[in-house]
A and B are shown apart, each in its own frame.
Chain A
Amino acid sequence: DIQMTQSPSSVSASVGDRVTIACRASQDIGNWLAWYQQKPGKAPNLLIYAASTLQTGVPSRFSGSGSGTDFTLTISSLQPEDFGTYYCQDANTFPLTFGGGTKVEIK
């Protein structure tokens, strides 16, 4: 099975900061990667699919890049509402493994 490893596990940043989250797959997954944001007590929300395609309605400050085994989610200018935990997911190969999550806190 493909393993998905995220780093860092947590990040604390100020409003306006640029935040980058990394996701590494144990095998080449092409661009079959999705990113989600989850707020406490709520269901996850799809942000990006196909590694870099923004889901409809998601603010343009979110962007994704990468292919193969190394991927990045970037928040270009952190906003107060961006707190939560972010997960990457292998979107193509069963089991559709999620990364362990990155908790983003606002300073």
Chain B
Amino acid sequence: EVKLVESGGGLVQPGGSLRLSCAASGLTSSRYWMTWVRQAPGKGLEWVANINQPGSEKYYVDSVKGRFIVSRDNAENSLYLQMNSLRGEDTAVYYCARARVGAGLDVWGQGTTVTVSS
């Protein structure tokens, strides 16, 4: 069974940091681009970041550039999102997903919740 499982979410104060992880099983994630998508409470989906197979290309939505870093460890079949200088507007459920170039996100994790609040 192909599965993605996120972890690392929680409550953090504004200005704090958090590192999300996404563990892949049943698939060799190193063969695919990987994506982070988030969804604020009661809102729509927002693409956050993409990383290519070797981790040499990374793309971010403008609102997180300079604060978030996407990375991967292909040996561990894992994806990460280091989130720094967190703001209230970063409060969301964060999903990792497998990306097929030009063909959408076909495997998703269950999501992990990040709450930024004092």
Contacts and interface: CB of A to CB of B under 8 A. Distances in A.
Interface of A: 1, 32, 34, 36, 38, 43-46, 48-50, 53, 55, 85, 87, 89, 91-92, 94-101
Interface of B: 35, 37, 44-47, 50, 59-62, 95, 100-106, 108-111
A11 B15 CA distance: 40
A46 B109 CA distance: 13
Nearest to A31: B102
Contacts of B50: 94, 96
A44 B105 contact: yes
A96 B102 contact: no
Contacts, number: 66
Contacts of B104: 34, 36, 46, 48-49, 55, 89, 91
B47 A97 contact: yes
B106 A101 contact: no
Given A43-B95, A43-B109, A95-B62, A49 B47 contact: no
Given A49-B104, A87-B45, 18 more contacts: A32-B102, A34-B105, A36-B45, A43-B95, A43-B109, A43-B110, A44-B45, A46-B104, A46-B105, A46-B106, A49-B102, A49-B103, A50-B102, A55-B106, A89-B105, A94-B59, A95-B47, A95-B59
